[in-house]
């Protein structure tokens, strides 16, 4: 009954037991929100002083950010914040499509009854949030990520969960942040989520995969159009 405490994934919690954890968490947010601008160079000593830690923990933090694809590092030459070009974002969505498509397929095969119930419950909460907040879809976005992560967990594939939640998740958040001004279409997304859960609960893996891939590739189309519009202003 106390396994819930141990279950928290280290990359998600902010309470961080170690200095490197805390600095990594802060830097991660700084990069995603743009406080550390894209392409800017990272100087270890400066950042270390700025965050009140030694270079050791900071180096570890940077290495973890590298694993999240948030910084690019070259030996002896230093690290730079990743530049999120349209091409890069396209790459991210492609990988997402592949990984989450497999997620949905496996989830249909291996999901536990309890997890199905929890998914339906989650979607109900989403619907309420949409009705209440109407225009303010920020919470919906967080919930959206939650939804996708839960599907991955339902697949019972630990490597998939790790790849998505630890390695790709932050990059996805960064993409979202750039196209956050979108009016979005939470209702449509919710409907698609429902279809996916429905397919999964009916154990139709093939359909679940197709729906999930269409869902993600659709999201990319919307995001892409937004980027093009931004280019024209």
- C-beta closer to DNA: residue 51 or 194: 51
- C-beta closer to DNA: residue 14 or 98: 14
Point out which span in 74-82, 172-180, 196-204, 216-224 binds DNA (CB under 7 A): 74-82
Task: Answer yes or no whether residue 60 interacts with DNA by CB under 7 A.
Answer: yes
By the 10 Å C-beta count (0-12 exposed, 13-18 middle, 19+ buried), 90 is classed as middle
Q: Which residue ranges make up the site for its own copies (CB under 8 A)?
A: 10, 17-18, 21, 56, 59-60, 63-64, 66-67, 69, 75-76, 88, 91-92, 94-95, 97-99, 101-102, 106, 157-160, 162-163, 167
Residues numbered 16-55 forming contacts with DNA, rule: CB under 7 A: 17-20, 41-45, 53-55
Give contact residues for DNA (rule: CB under 7 A): 17-20, 41-45, 53-57, 59-60, 73-79
């Amino acid at each position: 009954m106390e396994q819930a405490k141990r279950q928290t994934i280290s990359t998600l919690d902010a309470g961080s037991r170690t200095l490197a954890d805390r600095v990594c968490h802060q830097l991660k947010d700084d990069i995603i929100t743009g406080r550390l601008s894209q392409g800017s160079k990272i100087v270890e000593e400066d950042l270390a002083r700025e965050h009140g830690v030694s270079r050791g923990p900071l180096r570890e933090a940077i290495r973890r950010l590298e694993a999240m694809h948030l910084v690019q590092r070259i030996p002896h030459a230093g690290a730079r914040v990743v530049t999120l070009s349209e091409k890069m974002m396209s790459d991210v969505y492609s990988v997402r499509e592949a990984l989450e498509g497999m997620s949905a397929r496996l989830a249909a095969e291996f999901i536990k009854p309890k997890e199905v119930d929890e998914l339906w419950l989650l979607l109900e909460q989403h619907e309420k949030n949409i009705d209440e907040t109407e225009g303010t879809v920020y919470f919906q976005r967080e919930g959206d990520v939650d939804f996708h992560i839960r599907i991955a967990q339902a697949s019972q594939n630990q490597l998939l969960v790790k790849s998505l939640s630890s390695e790709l998740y932050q990059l996805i958040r960064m993409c979202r942040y750039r196209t956050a001004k979108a009016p979005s279409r939470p209702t449509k997304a919710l409907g698609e989520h429902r279809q996916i859960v429905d397919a999964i609960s009916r154990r139709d893996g093939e359909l679940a995969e197709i729906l999930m891939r269409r869902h993600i590739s659709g999201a990319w189309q919307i995001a892409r159009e937004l980027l093009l519009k931004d280019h024209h202003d």
